[in-house]
Amino acid sequence: MSHMHVSPALAAALAAGAALAPAAHAATPAELLAGYNAQAGAAAAPDRGQQWFITRHGREWSCATCHGAVPTQAGKHASTGKPIGSLAPAFNPERFTDAAKTEKWFRRNCNDVVGRECSAAEKADVLSWLLTLEP
């Protein structure tokens, strides 16, 4: 039986990925945030998340374009007009409860807003801000 050496960096990356590994299973917003923090290697900053959410990043839209500057109420897709439920978990308990769905929407929306996938730090910052929004 051979033993393979895994670098500390790879072990950390695998552990961070494991925090989000049960993608098909229900999660809590706090669990998802912990996974993004682990992947980013730093704690999220809600103020930075709010700023990121409302700012355009060289593209036509910001997150706030469709979700509203304070996403505690329903929003509307900028081009289709399709209604979008409140993004803040305290106002919509279905938000950020499924890791696979969360990743799918981050991937789509980040592509629209920044033209690339969002980093783990960006996701952590935005989610940490969303978790501060309470009724």
List the one residue out of 73, 53, 51, 72 whose CA is nearest residue 61.
Answer: 53
Nearest residue to 96 via CA among 49, 29, 30, 23: 29
Predicted pLDDT of residue 25: 59
Query: Which tokens in the block code for residue 47?
Result: 């103020």
pLDDT tens-digit map of 80-106: 999 999 999 999 999 999 999 999 999
Q: Is pLDDT of 20 > 80?
A: no
**Confidence grade of residue 17 (pLDDT, cut at 50, 70, 90):** very low
What would the pLDDT profile of 25-80 be if each residue is shown by its tens digit?
Answer: 569 999 999 999 999 999 999 999 999 999 999 999 999 999 999 999 999 998 89
pLDDT at residue number 12: 46
Cβ neighbours of 42 (radius 10 Å): 12
**Is the model's pLDDT at 1 over the cut of 50?**
no
C-alpha 105/C-alpha 127 separation (Å) is 13
pLDDT of residue 95: 95
Q: With contact defined as beta carbons under 8 Å apart, do 58 and 114 qualify?
A: yes
User: What pLDDT does residue 102 have?
Assistant: 95
Q: Give the integer Cα–Cα distance in Å for 73 and 66.
A: 11
Its sign, for the CA torsion 54, 58, 60, 63, is negative
Cβ 66 vs Cβ 76: under 8 Å = yes
Residue 24 has pLDDT above 60, yes or no: no
Distances from the Cα of 8 to the Cα of 5, 11, 20, 69, angstroms: 9, 5, 19, 40
83 DSSP β-pair partners = 76
